[in-house]
Amino acid sequence: MADYEETAQRVTRYEPGKFERDKARVQDGFWGKVRHTLGRISFVEDAVAAYYCAIDPDTPVQVKAILMGALAYFILPVDMVPDVLTVFGFADDAAVLAAAYRKVSQYVRPAHRERARDAMAQLRGDDEAA
């Protein structure tokens, strides 16, 4: 069985260079991944709330680094369990995001969750209109 806690520690550690790479990866691919996974995984709204926390100027940089690392892992096209295996493929993504979330949950504010709910509602509306 994959060691998700070890993976979570590796992808969420704070290193300035890694943080910048993770941040760029998230900025480039996050919303595409959200659209692709909408309705397929249960934790996508939590990922969006984590995203809003990570881009909040009031969030401490160490917290941003943890969240960006987890979100960058979520976006990666190749990870421990391929995402094409719909039921199991996102298990590692969920585990890494959950481990990161546990570390920083006190920084994910109601405003981040509200923005996530609004974004999800808008995306669902966009999907229905398409």
* The pair of three-digit structure tokens given for residue 23, joined into one six-digit string: 């941040």
CB 8 within 8 A of CB 104: no
Give 44-89 pLDDT, tens digit per residue: 899 999 999 999 999 999 999 999 999 998 888 654 444 444 444 5
Query: What three-state secondary structure class fits 38?
Result: coil
Query: What three-state secondary structure class fits 79?
Result: coil
* The pair of three-digit structure tokens given for residue 107, joined into one six-digit string: 């920084």
- Model pLDDT, residue 84: 45
- Max mean pLDDT range (11-25, 63-77, 85-99): 63-77
> In this structure, which amino acid lies at residue 27?
Q
| pTM over cut 0.85 | no
